[in-house]
Amino acid sequence: MAQIQEQTQRTLHPVVRELLLKRGWREENFEEFFSWDLRALPVLTQMHDLEKASERIIKAIKTNEKIGVYGDYDVDGTTSCALLYHFFKYFDKEVELFQPSRFVEGYGIHPSSIENAADKNISLIITVDCGITNNDAADYALQKGIDLIITDHHKDAAEEMPKAFAIVNPNRRDEEHSERSYLAGVGVAFALALQIKNTWEKENPPLPSLYPLLQFVAIGTISDMANLCPMNLKLTRHGLKQLVNPTYKGLLHFIPPEERVGHSIPSDKISFHIGPHINSKGRLEHPEKALTLLISDDDAVCFECFSHLEISNRERKFIQNEVFSQAKREVIRSLESDDMLINIVYSEQWHEGVIGIVASKLVETFEVPAIVFTDSEQPNLIKASARSAGELNIFDALKSCEDLFAKFGGHKSAAGLSMPKENLPVFIERMNQYLKKIPLITRTKQSHYDLEISFSEINTHLLKELDALEPFGMGNQRPVFRMKNIRIDSYRVLKDLHVRWDFIDEHNPGRKLQGISFFHIGKWNQLSPEEIFNRQNEGLTIEFQLGINRFNGNEYIQLLVDKLYLGPI
């Protein structure tokens, strides 16, 4: 940690300094960006109903009421459930954990969830990462005499808020926008735990530190793509630091000993490994095994649950690739003009658990918004995941068609909906009409790079300085660089999908760097490696991220090449 804090007390690498300035950071605020100081956090507990919720929960603990914690089936919901489970252990209080099935109950808390809790004599339910639009469930809880405390971070989009005992949500309609608005669901759960601890300790002995719980905050925040504002940067940095030696047995299975080195676990480990594994169970069936892994202290149980997650994740990848290939073919087949506004695709056979990822991959491929539909469990009702492109607010776009939906909700960049199947043609027409009024630059994914750098600026010193920018994610993306005056010395195709490049400096052929373009072969609107190699005399420009490739005990700099351009730019 001291190593990172010293970053702001010495001269920054010129590339890092220019990067921060371009991203809108002023030099006098650089220290805030690099800060690990948890004492400098905004007051997490300054949210409506948080004190009321805390007092009700403490009463339930003291009178030995049965408490239920109900969370969404994704990583944010699962880590939120695990966080509160371990927190209640501080009181030697066992809570009942509930999560819905994506395919049975669907997202959110439902009257059937309340009925299930009532059957178990639960008198207090705390939701995490869901509930803000579930008015029916809140009404049913009132009818059943169950106090419902909703903790959520999603947009408060219903006509009125649920009639719950308490609603803790930094994005509820009567909250002022603040840095707390960027908390993920697990961040709100952490704020609840903090308020309970503060209230409890006014009249009771001190509780253990909440610091270990930041491991769950880091995983949930990065996986849910919450904005990495300074507040979330501090919270996640401390969580990633602890993951080098995880407190909880289940987390050990995600990080082999050889990766538990250095001062912190890289955020990519969350984004591309831990998050997808936790998510995989909820995408294909019920998330129970993932949650059990995060709360169990039994080695055998953790091993079994992690094995289930590994199998589920492999299956998820296979299904996802199949659905994406079909969706991509459907898009190409239906192309009518160069002005592609949005891709809306549907198949009754597609797996509901992967349509969100497929929508994201369609945006990545065709650079316009995407909505992927499949059949729901209910007859004649289809459901979809929507993903935005560029600066388009997909939530607002969908809201213009709200009269067609049975249900919908989400954020600016991602949303979900369900509607009668017969409404699909009208929906497609209205979405296209809506987007025609939006400027092209707003509704399409624009080619973006942070800085243009030279071949000679790339060295291990620069990579070390870039590591201090961690964690990377929404609002603090891993830097993308552009480089000209570069030549391809040779290339190799790997597994018929990827391309390994050997680059040399056009002005100094003795300088060499390796690069790789993942899934380059068959990529939409991309030249073949052979054509790029043969035509590079026209001028070659690349856009890439910087990384370290570790292989057989060796380390070397690697350019993660996303785009290659021929000709002048």
DSSP string, 345-371: EE-TTS-GGGHHHHHHHHHHHHSS-EE
DSSP 457: G
User: Does a structural domain hold residue 138?
Assistant: yes
Average pLDDT (215-224) is 97
* One domain, residues 294 and 269: yes
- Are 350 and 374 in contact by the 8 Å Cβ rule? The answer is yes
For residue 404, the tally of other CB atoms under 10 A from its CB is 18
Q: What is the pLDDT of residue 1?
A: 45
* One domain, residues 475 and 493: yes
Q: What is the pLDDT of residue 336?
A: 66
Q: Which among 129, 133, 89, 131 is positioned nearest to 114, based on CA atoms?
A: 131
pTM of the model: 0.91
Cis before 212? omega within 30 = no
- Rounded Cα distance, 273 and 185, in Å: 20
Q: Does residue 545 have a pLDDT over 60?
A: yes
* One domain, residues 402 and 519: no
* One domain, residues 95 and 207: yes
415-439 in b/e burial notation, b at 16+ Cβ within 10 A? bbbbbeeebbeebeebbeebbeebe
Average pLDDT (184-208) is 97
Burial class (CB in 10 A: 0-12, 13-18, 19+), 196: buried
- Rounded Cα distance, 308 and 305, in Å: 5
Domain C-terminal end among 393, 413, 443: 443
Q: Where in the sequence is the domain holding 378, given as residue range(s)?
A: 334-443
- Rounded Cα distance, 222 and 201, in Å: 31
Q: What is the CATH number of the domain that holds 200?
A: 3.90.1640.30
For residue 42, the tally of other CB atoms under 10 A from its CB is 12
Q: What is the pLDDT of residue 193?
A: 98
- Are 503 and 488 in contact by the 8 Å Cβ rule? The answer is yes
- Rounded Cα distance, 558 and 494, in Å: 16
* pLDDT greater at residue 400 or residue 446: 400
Q: What is the pLDDT of residue 3?
A: 47
Sheet with strand 166-168: strands edge to edge: 96-98, 67-71, 124-128, 147-151, 166-168
User: Does a structural domain hold residue 120?
Assistant: yes
* One domain, residues 257 and 206: yes
Identify the bridge partners of residue 566 per DSSP, sorted by sequence position.
540
Average pLDDT (451-464) is 92
- Rounded Cα distance, 21 and 516, in Å: 29
Q: Which residue has the tokens 């459930």?
A: 81
Q: What is the pLDDT of residue 543?
A: 96
Average pLDDT (160-185) is 96
- Rounded Cα distance, 34 and 100, in Å: 39
* One domain, residues 266 and 145: yes
Which amino acid, residue 230? P
* One domain, residues 102 and 194: yes
Digit-coded pLDDT (tens) for 415-437: 999 999 999 999 999 999 999 99
Average pLDDT (45-60) is 97
Look at the chain and report how many structural domains it folds into. Answer: 3
- Are 383 and 418 in contact by the 8 Å Cβ rule? The answer is yes
Q: What is the pLDDT of residue 362?
A: 96
* One domain, residues 102 and 70: yes
User: Does a structural domain hold residue 560?
Assistant: yes
Instruction: Count CA atoms within 13 Å of residue 313 on its CB side.
Output: 17
Q: What is the pLDDT of residue 9?
A: 47
Domain C-terminal end among 308, 343, 362: 308
Q: What is the CATH number of the domain that holds 489?
A: 2.40.50.460
User: Does a structural domain hold residue 495?
Assistant: yes
- Rounded Cα distance, 425 and 423, in Å: 6
Q: What is the CATH number of the domain that holds 381?
A: 3.10.310.30
* One domain, residues 244 and 292: yes
Average pLDDT (352-369) is 95
* One domain, residues 75 and 45: yes
- Are 499 and 492 in contact by the 8 Å Cβ rule? The answer is yes
Q: At what angle do helices 75-89 and 214-223 cross, to 10 degrees?
A: 170
Task: Report the SS3 class of residue 243.
Answer: coil
Question: H or E element: which one contains 128?
Answer: strand 124-128
User: Does a structural domain hold residue 323?
Assistant: no
Q: In the structure, what pLDDT confidence band is assigned to residue 337 with cuts at 50, 70 and 90?
A: low
Q: What is the pLDDT of residue 10?
A: 52
Can you give the three-state secondary structure of 148-212, one letter per residue? EEEECCCCCCCCCCCCCCEEECCCCCCCCCCHHHHCCHHHHHHHHHHHHHHHHCCCCCCCCCCHH
User: Does a structural domain hold residue 378?
Assistant: yes
User: Does a structural domain hold residue 367?
Assistant: yes
- Are 358 and 330 in contact by the 8 Å Cβ rule? The answer is no
Alpha-carbon distance values, 173 to 162, 232, 444 (Å):
12, 22, 30
* One domain, residues 73 and 93: yes
* One domain, residues 268 and 410: no
Check the CA dihedral 306-358-497-547 and report its sign: negative
- Are 69 and 84 in contact by the 8 Å Cβ rule? The answer is yes
User: Does a structural domain hold residue 190?
Assistant: yes
- Rounded Cα distance, 36 and 214, in Å: 13
